[in-house]
Amino acid sequence: MVLALALMGAAVAMVAFYVPEDADQGLSQKIFYFHVPIALTAYACFGWGALKALLYLWRRDPRYDLESYVAIHLGVIFGAMTLVTGMIWAKISWGVWWAWSSNQLVLFLVLFLFYSAYFMLRFSVEDGPMRANLSAVYALFGVVLIPIGFLAIRLANDFIHPTVFTSQGPQMAGSMFATFVVCWAAMLALAAAFYGIELAGKRLDARLRELRELLAP
Amino acid sequence: MNYAGDVAALLRKDLLLELRARETLPAMALFVIAALTVFHFALPAGSSDLAAQGLLWIAILFTALLGLSRAFVSEREQGVLDGLVLAPCDRSAIWLAKTLSVLSFLVIVEAIALPAFGLFFSAVSLRTVAAVALADVGLCTVGTLLAAMAVTSRTRELLLPLLFLPLALPIVVGGVGASVAEDGGRYLGFLAVYDLVFAIISWASFEYVVAE
Amino acid sequence: MIHARGLSRRFGRKRALDRVDLDLPEGGFLLVTGPNGSGKTTLLRLCAGLLVPTGGVLEVGAERGEIGFLGHDPLVYRGLTARENLELYGRLYRVPERRERSGMLLERFGLWEARNERVGSYSRGMLQRLSLCRALLHDPRLLLLDEPFNALDAAGAELLERELAERRATAIVATHDPDRVAHLATARLVLA
């Protein structure tokens, strides 16, 4: 956690002072340094969740189910943040809150819907081996959806809007690249820290429940 | 081959049940015609021909959803799924048989819907028909697995659309693209990729969705 | 054939089965009794493989195709006839000469006349008898019967008693009505 905070501090400092302002978009463009790392971190969380899901199906250890759930939970939070920062950037850059031509944004919307359904699924099935099974299978579907969904959205743009705005960041010169990497590292560290905390918290909950049951007649 | 025999026996069972009950198929057919009628009223004057093509795909999507929500109803209501799960056959055979049965219902309904669409709106191109065929496979393979998931939950009818729509989105893209775009062949290719990938993952993971 | 140590199963927060120990040798007959909600059904479903334990160890020395299970649901399709149901299960369980075997069972349990009627029109007693036919169709090595005497009339109950007396299979029977088959039991388990 300390590492994460330190990295975050460094990231913010770099973004604020070190990196030169972008020629076209000015100060507002700097949100890019948060938006993209947040998006990449969300992908990493979903990927990690899918990995744990696979391990669960292979080993049937309930711990993997919990780890998968926490990873996906975190992924959804980062995903929501991606959407928010993306919308802010869109507003600042292009004057609109939403742009369907932004592939990244649309993909995140779809993934957000998908993984929200993950929680609906989880909340509507009783805790037990079956819930873990279903969650794991769904998490795997999600991670397959990411590339396929991205491909679909790319293809869709051809007949929905001709591409007017590019959603790519600017070409990154040395200082920009360094800042970007630091930001990315900071986001991942933050995610890892939250992951550890939430996991520990949930495990503690489970342990307390177990002990309570042992003590109860 | 035992596997094929199992699938055939299960498929035959589903078709026989529907033939006798005559519940799902007529409902799906009626639904799709009603939907197309609603679309007529939902399209303001001057709407392009292309917009109507898009609506065809919405009709297919929701008709498929209707069929899928009925897919495991008999098993669930009578608790019979346990009987199939207890049997020594491969669980994926259950999935395959169910997918084929839903697919056959969908195809039969589309044989009515596509000409109706041609009647109400505009003729349907050959490429569209190919896209519909490919899309059907994708919808049914993924949908059957998700239907089995939804049946386990407390909120069945609510849950299936939520699980299904995000995954169906690429199919809609592929389908509409194939109908509408200049180089529609690309979209057919994409649909084929979707079908292959998701069929494999559905086939492999069905085991875990019906048995603990 | 069946070995369990500390076998537990919970559903959400509820403990359906709490640390049960069990050893049943091949050919044995275990009678399981206990009040409603004591976990009899859960125990049988665990042995059948429909549930997995959430605690403890369970070993069942029979494959899926060797287990005959009778639960609370008859596990038959209402829209099919008795004949068709048994044909389906016969096919899935790879029963050799399934037509003959289903016919024989239907006759033995008094369902021959009704064999081509849709199961949806059956009475509860008939459903239970059909379910028994289904469970016995593949000549299982392990019989798991959950309240099998429930819906049966006197004649049906007698058929079942005879079937159990003549069987070679290992059996676990959960029942409210233990006196009927107490004389056959080689072991008893009382769940609280």
DSSP result, C100-146: HHHHHHHHHTT-STTTTSBGGG--HHHHHHHHHHHHHTT--SEEEEE
C29: Cβ contacts below 8 Å, ≥ 6 apart: C164, C170, C171, C172, C173, C181, C184, C185, C186, C187
Calculate mean pLDDT across residues C53-73: 94
Q: What is the pLDDT of residue A94?
A: 72
Q: What is the pLDDT of residue A162?
A: 47
pLDDT in tens, B64-78: 999 999 999 878 877
Chain C residues touching residue B4 (CB < 8 angstroms)? none
Calculate mean pLDDT across residues A114-126: 94
| Tokens found for residue A199 | 């996991």
Q: What is the pLDDT of residue A137?
A: 97
Output the DSSP codes for A88-101.
HHHHHHHS-S--TT
> CB–CB of B180 and A159 under 8 A?
yes
Q: What is the pLDDT of residue A166?
A: 46
Cα-Cα-Cα-Cα dihedral of B91, B97, B102, B108, to 10°? Answer: 170
pTM, to two decimals: 0.90
Q: How far is CA C147 from CA C44, C77, C178, in A?
A: 11, 20, 10
Residue A2 placed within a domain:
no
C114: Cβ contacts below 8 Å, ≥ 6 apart: C82, C122, C126
With both helix axes pointing from N to C terminus, report the angle between B185-210 and B91-120 in degrees, rounded to the nearest 10.
140
The three-state secondary structure class of C23 is strand
Q: What sign for the dihedral angle of Cα B183, B184, B189, B194?
A: positive
> CB–CB of A120 and B201 under 8 A?
no
For tokens 């009704």, name the residue.
C114
Alpha-carbon span A139 to A65, nearest angstrom: 10
Name the pLDDT band for B179 (thresholds 50, 70, 90): confident
Distance from the B156 Cα atom to the nearest Cα atom in chain C, whole angstroms: 19
Q: What is the pLDDT of residue B92?
A: 96
Distance from the A11 Cα atom to the nearest Cα atom in chain B, whole angstroms: 34
Chain C residues touching residue A213 (CB < 8 angstroms)? 15
Chain A residues touching residue C52 (CB < 8 angstroms)? 60, 129
Q: What is the pLDDT of residue A167?
A: 47
Instruction: Report the residue of A59, A123, A126 to disrupt the C interface, i.e. the one with the largest count of C CBs within 10 Å.
Output: A126
- Does residue C36 or residue B160 have the better pLDDT? B160
CB atoms within 10 A of CB C148: 27
Looking at the predicted structure, is the pLDDT value of residue A25 above 70? no
Looking at the predicted structure, is the pLDDT value of residue B148 above 80? yes
For tokens 């990154």, name the residue.
A172
Nearest to B166 among A114, A133, A151 (CB): A114
Cα-Cα-Cα-Cα dihedral of C77, C83, C88, C92, to 10°? Answer: 120
Residue A141 placed within a domain:
yes
Q: How far is CA C91 from CA B4, B97, B103, C144, in A?
A: 11, 14, 23, 21
Percentage of residues in chain C with pLDDT exceeding 90? 79
Looking at the predicted structure, is the pLDDT value of residue B153 above 90? no
Residue C189 placed within a domain:
no
Output the DSSP codes for B119-132.
HHS-PPPHHHHHHH
Residue C31 placed within a domain:
no
Name the pLDDT band for A155 (thresholds 50, 70, 90): confident
Output the DSSP codes for A112-128.
HHHHHHHHHHHHTS-SS
Alpha-carbon span B56 to B60, nearest angstrom: 6
Q: What is the pLDDT of residue B124?
A: 87
Cβ C81 vs Cβ C155: under 8 Å: no
Calculate mean pLDDT across residues B200-210: 96
Alpha-carbon span A163 to A99, nearest angstrom: 11
Percentage of residues in chain A with pLDDT exceeding 90? 42
> How is residue C30 annotated by DSSP?
E
List A residues 131-160 in contact with C (Cβ-Cβ < 8 A). Answer: none
Name the pLDDT band for C66 (thresholds 50, 70, 90): very high
Q: What is the pLDDT of residue A17?
A: 55
Domain extents in chain B: 2-210
Looking at the predicted structure, is the pLDDT value of residue C34 above 50? yes
Lowest mean pLDDT among C43-47, C66-70, C100-104, C163-167: C163-167
Amino acid letter at A46? Answer: F
Distance from the B205 Cα atom to the nearest Cα atom in chain A, whole angstroms: 7
The three-state secondary structure class of A72 is helix
Residue in chain B lying closest to A126 (CA)? B153
Amino acid letter at A47? Answer: G
Short-list A75, A82, A77, CA closest to A50: A75
List helix spans (H) across A14-102.
32-59, 62-94
Alpha-carbon span B56 to B66, nearest angstrom: 15
Looking at the predicted structure, is the pLDDT value of residue C131 above 90? yes
Calculate mean pLDDT across residues A189-217: 84
Q: What is the pLDDT of residue A146?
A: 94
HSE value, Cβ hemisphere, 13 Å, CA-based, for C7: 25
Chain A residues touching residue B166 (CB < 8 angstroms)? 110-111, 113-114, 117, 145
> CB–CB of B20 and C52 under 8 A?
no
> CB–CB of C52 and A127 under 8 A?
no
The count of domains in chain C is 1
- Does residue B5 or residue A34 have the better pLDDT? B5
Short-list A133, A140, A139, CA closest to A57: A133
Alpha-carbon span B6 to C48, nearest angstrom: 21
CA B182 to chain centre: 26
The three-state secondary structure class of A166 is coil
Cβ B117 vs Cβ B53: under 8 Å: no
| Tokens found for residue C162 | 């005879």
Domain extent at residue C126: 76-135
The CA-based angle A57-A135-A147, given to 5 degrees, is 90
pLDDT in tens, A53-94: 999 999 999 999 999 999 999 999 999 999 998 888 888 777
Q: What is the pLDDT of residue A34?
A: 80
Lowest mean pLDDT among A151-165, C110-124, C162-176: A151-165
Cβ A85 vs Cβ A35: under 8 Å: yes
Q: Say what the ipTM of the complex is.
A: 0.91
Residues counted in chain B: 212
Cβ C72 vs Cβ C146: under 8 Å: yes
Q: Is C49 on the interface with A (CB under 8 A)?
A: no
pLDDT in tens, C68-92: 999 999 999 999 999 999 999 999 9
The count of domains in chain A is 1
Q: What is the pLDDT of residue A172?
A: 56
Calculate mean pLDDT across residues A196-212: 87
Calculate mean pLDDT across residues A170-191: 73
Alpha-carbon span A68 to A81, nearest angstrom: 20
Identify the helix (H) or strand (E) that includes residue A135: helix A129-160
Looking at the predicted structure, is the pLDDT value of residue A184 above 90? no
The three-state secondary structure class of C71 is coil
Q: How far is CA A160 from CA B49, B50, B76, B181, in A?
A: 15, 11, 41, 10
The three-state secondary structure class of A133 is helix
Alpha-carbon span A198 to A200, nearest angstrom: 5
Q: What is the pLDDT of residue C77?
A: 94
Domain extent at residue A77: 8-13+28-215
> How is residue C81 annotated by DSSP?
B
Residue A55 placed within a domain:
yes
